[in-house]
Amino acid sequence: MATNTIQDFLTPEAMLTPGVAGSMTMMITNALATNFNMPRAWLGLSLSFVFGLLVLVSTKGLLLKALFYVLNSLVIFCVAVGANGLGANSPAAQGHSFLLGISPAYAQASVASSPDVEHCANISATVDAAQKAGASSGQIVDLVKPCENLSQDILKNKAGPIPAAAPNIKSGAFFSPWKF
């Protein structure tokens, strides 16, 4: 029964085979290229055609095997390139924060010069303490007002425009673009 499962997995018509082979191609290509400075695109394409040889275990005719070999190999390559592209363009690979797409260094630099930063960084605790102490609503508004002004200044680009999310990909990174 286990042999039957493996034969089902290795059929040319099964899309799971190119998907798994594509992810294995991406992993092997990136590992070899990172450690041995090999050209990623050519290495990935070559490995795709090696994994495409899985179609030869089928009992189809020679012409059908050849057709499935080429098509499966190209599908494997496409899956590998796509998976690598997702990894290379992820916020973590680009050094950006997951929440806003703004790098932490920019967020620190844009407000570091303001005297109200420390006050506004912990405004909720300040407001809670003031409410517990019995502060009036006018006093609480006075506590929040500098933070509102700071927010408006940032929105008006007073601190400078927010930089576009540009790739910050190192050439030796595991996920790097594949180029011919």
Q: Residue 102: which of 172, 175, 178, 159 has the closest Cα?
A: 159
pLDDT digits (tens, 9 = 90+) for 28-81: 999 998 888 889 999 999 998 988 887 777 777 888 888 888 888 888 898 888
Question: What is the b/e burial string over 70-104, where b = at least 16 CB atoms within 10 angstroms of the residue's CB?
Answer: eebbebbbebbbebbeebbeeeebeebeeeeeebe
* pLDDT tens track for 84-111: 888 887 766 665 544 444 444 444 444 4
- Residue 103 DSSP SS3: coil
Write out the E strands in 77-150.
Answer: none
Q: Where do the domains of the chain lie?
A: 2-94, 104-155
Q: pTM for the complete prediction?
A: 0.47
- Which residues lie below 8 Å from residue 41, measured CB to CB, with a gap of 6+? 178, 179, 180
Query: Hey, what are 140's tokens?
Result: 């609480």
Angle between helices 62-88 and 16-36 (to 10 degrees): 60
